[in-house]
Amino acid sequence: MPEPLLIINADDLGYDPAVTRGILKAMREGVVTSATFMVNMPFSESAAGAAGKSLALGLHLNLARNAPLSNAFAPEHLHEGGFSELKASILPAEAVRAETLAQLDKLEALSGKRATHVDVHKHLHRYAGVLEGVLAAAKERGLPVRAIDEKMREAIRQAGVKTTDHFIGDAGTEAYWTLERFREHVEKLSEGSTELMCHPGFIPEALKSGYAAQREVELSTFLHSGARRILERCGVRLGSFADL
């Protein structure tokens, strides 16, 4: 049986300087293999400079915070000129497509390279219009898209877009990726490709976040020497979305 492919993807690069520092540490010194980049934040440019050109970066499409990069949205789609998570369900697919393309262009301009894939902050592609727009843009650029469940995976593949075979990860009031939970999931990985979504980082220093101290627990997990031993013992192949 071929080795399962595991993509350990850290969300929220560019969200906050401390979060960015933690993500980059987890990639350079730990087992995190991929990250997704928020490109319309005040800290996006500095994050791109810190990341350099050697790391695998996808787009963390941001439709929940700050101003859009395109002019595709009508005032009623926005809140005081910017995005609001509460209005995500009414975003038109064509506007989402245009914004996704604009954010992909921004990522390339900041990082000097193409995105490896697309996922969406707060999983807002749960909404049909958002998913339709994201898929249209991803297909146009030839990029994979994150699937968070089987129904979404089927829709993504029916659109002719790549995605992983499996998805694991969550975020809540307590840190999700402890070393013990990481071991439990790695030991039962299925055949094919799996994305492990995570949120490592240092406690945000510039922005408030509902997932703050939890990030440092996850950072500790992915830096721990035991995490690499678990992967080696289980015969897991690490990679990025470029390996799909």
Amino acid at 60: H
Q: Pairing relation of β-strands 57-61 and 118-120?
A: parallel
Residues 6+ apart with CB under 8 A from 31: 8, 222, 227, 228, 231, 238
Under DSSP, is residue 37 helix (H, G, I), strand (E, B) or coil?
strand
Structure tokens at 147: 């699937």
**The pLDDT value given to residue 2:** 72
**The pLDDT value given to residue 1:** 58
Mean per-residue pLDDT pooled into runs of 10, the chain (244 residues): 89 98 98 98 98 97 97 96 96 98 98 98 98 98 98 98 98 95 97 98 93 97 98 97 97
Residues 6+ apart with CB under 8 A from 205: 16, 17, 18
With b for 16 or more beta-carbon neighbours within 10 A and e for fewer, the 189-223 pattern comes to: beeebbbbbbbbbbebeeeebebbebbbbbbbbbb
* Domains of the chain, earliest start first: 5-243 (3.20.20.370)
**The pLDDT value given to residue 3:** 83
Amino acid at 18: A
Residues 232/233/235/236 CA torsion (nearest 10 deg): -60
**The pLDDT value given to residue 73:** 97
**Whole-model pTM?**
0.97
Handedness of CA 231, 235, 236, 238 (dihedral sign): positive
Give the Å distances, CA to CA, from 146 to 21, 50, 63, 64, 129.
24, 25, 15, 17, 16
**The pLDDT value given to residue 231:** 98
